């Protein structure tokens, strides 16, 4: 079974500081990995995804994530936080990376707070 | 495209009443997913459809929950009878090619059962 662990339910940074949100996954097959962002009172939207191509994935709004198989990690980073980055971030793994069937299993989410 | 459309955005009902949540996926998307989000349990997949056919309903909590997709542009999630523990935000999402593809989420329906 697939699973995702997000380390830290809350992360607080200052504006302009590095953002690092941690995600570790468990998968019995090569995974498809995703980061989604949820702004208050909205649905989730995709930030970026890893689909077995380049291990460093660039997404929207200056975010990127690196797939490290040896560490089973897919941490999300952004060099300089902006106030508008304040949101909840979800890491997710696909149940079956080889076909179109399968489920997305989400982590518990990390709330990012950005201080002026 | 207008994106995934959900209605109503907010629903307040009393225990024992029937609740119907509605979803219109993005046109051309073959997959539709229903999720439930709570503080305690996070985001849970309830059921998903491929070409209007339910593929996996193992996340549906119990027989009080049912979901249908009568055509490619409409799906419902029904709770009958509703209970206070069903209070949550329910999201619908759609994608072109399944869960390895980008899922587009609707704005959600916030359900409160008194």
Reported as a single tens digit per residue, the pLDDT across B7-55 is: 999 999 999 999 999 999 999 999 999 999 998 888 999 999 999 999 8
Q: Would the pLDDT of A44 be above 80?
A: yes
Grade residue A30 by pLDDT with cuts at 50, 70 and 90: confident
Grade residue A105 by pLDDT with cuts at 50, 70 and 90: confident
CA distance B99 to chain A (A): 6
- Average pLDDT on A94-109 reads 71
Please tell me the predicted confidence (pLDDT) of residue B78. Answer: 98
Please tell me the predicted confidence (pLDDT) of residue A100. Answer: 45
Q: Which of B87, B65, B64, B73 is nearest to B32 (CA)?
A: B73
Please tell me the predicted confidence (pLDDT) of residue B29. Answer: 94
Q: Would the pLDDT of B5 be above 50?
A: yes
Grade residue B101 by pLDDT with cuts at 50, 70 and 90: confident
Please tell me the predicted confidence (pLDDT) of residue A102. Answer: 61
> What chain A residue is nearest to B97 in terms of C-alpha separation?
A100
Please tell me the predicted confidence (pLDDT) of residue A85. Answer: 97
Q: Which of A93, A74, A75, A92 is nearest to A19 (CA)?
A: A75
Contact (CB<8Å) B91/A44: yes
Contact (CB<8Å) B105/A104: no
**Separation in Å, CA A115 to CA A4, A13, A15, A20, A112:** 28, 6, 6, 15, 10
The torsion defined by the Cα of A54, A68, A1 and B62, in degrees rounded to 10, comes to -80
CA distance A45 to chain B (A): 7
On average, the pLDDT of chain B sits at 93
Contact (CB<8Å) B93/A43: yes
């Amino acid at each position: 079974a697939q699973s995702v662990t997000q380390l830290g339910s809350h992360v607080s940074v200052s504006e302009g500081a590095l953002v690092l949100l941690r995600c570790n996954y468990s998968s019995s097959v090569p995974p498809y990995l995703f980061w989604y962002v949820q702004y208050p009172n909205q649905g989730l939207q995709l930030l970026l995804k890893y689909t077995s191509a380049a291990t460093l994935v660039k997404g929207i709004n200056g975010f990127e994530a690196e797939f490290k198989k040896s560490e089973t990690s897919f941490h999300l980073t952004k060099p300089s936080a902006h106030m508008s980055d304040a949101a909840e971030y979800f890491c997710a793994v696909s149940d079956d990376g080889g076909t179109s069937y399968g489920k997305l299993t989400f982590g518990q989410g990390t709330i990012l707070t950005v201080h002026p | 495209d207008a994106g995934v459309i959900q209605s109503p955005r907010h629903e307040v009902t009393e225990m024992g009443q029937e609740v119907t949540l509605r979803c219109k996926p993005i046109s051309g998307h073959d997959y539709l997913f229903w999720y439930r989000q709570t503080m305690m349990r996070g985001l849970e997949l309830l059921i998903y459809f491929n070409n209007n056919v339910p593929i996996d309903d193992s996340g549906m909590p119990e027989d009080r929950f049912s979901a249908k997709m009568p055509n490619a542009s409409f799906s419902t999630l029904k709770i009958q009878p509703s209970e206070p523990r069903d209070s949550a935000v329910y999201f619908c999402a759609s994608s072109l090619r399944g869960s390895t593809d980008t899922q587009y989420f609707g704005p959600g329906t916030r359900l409160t059962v008194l």
